[in-house]
Structure 1
Amino acid sequence: MVLTTILLNPIKNYTELPERTTGKYLYVSIFIFFFLGIYGGFINAGIGFLMLVILPYLNGLSLLKSNVTKVFVVAVYTIGAVLVFAFEDKINYPLALILTLGNASGAWVASRWSVKKDDKVIKLFLIITVSSLAIKLWFF
């Protein structure tokens, strides 16, 4: 779904979209993101890709601003999810530390890289990433 939406996207230039973050767009976003937060808190797989489809189309955000919003939202609900799993003693802390270091390193590099590039490069990278993940999940 995500890849199809990106490839068949009628929006060619995300930077020229008017941002729609008030009124009905705000309320629809809150409704959608509430359920994305529930899904992300339990499963988290592919949640960022879903957000990167919703934010440009619904709210008119550029891919760069959508990514910033995505990272913030994921950070907020991850804190809640980690607290729940920690309270239930369901966290493997050595593996969690490795995952945290990998995520933080990747986020640091990608954030610096994406700010220097335009939406076309980010969109191409997104297509490659979603395709690779789909192939891995389908065949491996």
Structure 2
Amino acid sequence: MDISTFDDLLAAARAQPQPQRLLFVFAGVELPDDATPAQRAAFEQGQGGALVPQMCVDKSPDELASFDQLKEEATSFGQAWGMVFAAAMSGAPGKAPTSADADEPLKKMVEAIRQGQIQAYIPFDPQGRAVRLG
């Protein structure tokens, strides 16, 4: 399935044979203190920078009606973010994963994003569109 919007992700999660739990890490993009003048110039043009996880949450697909709902909840925490990374975890037959089940995978996801290891996740921009990085 081609996932080009957040709604595509929700539809795919709901269509899975096993119950799903969606994991989200909201990240900002910052320029490191030791950036070179060339890196600073590129950053000012919207390129480069380091991903910095700001907050994370897990939800069942049934808890989310749309990207706008997720965005509104994230905004209520008052943290600026420029991208949200998404992943899904499957439950057992007839048993959906719980928030407690998601704790460790979310911690690993935050750390992976902090280290720039983002290939396993789907990044979405603030409008809910999937983006290609790299």
Common fold: TM-score over 0.5: no
Looking at secondary structure, tell me which structure has more strand per residue.
2
TM-score by length of 2: 0.24
The structure with more helix, counted as a fraction of residues: 1
Higher relative contact order (CA 8 A, sep 6+): 2
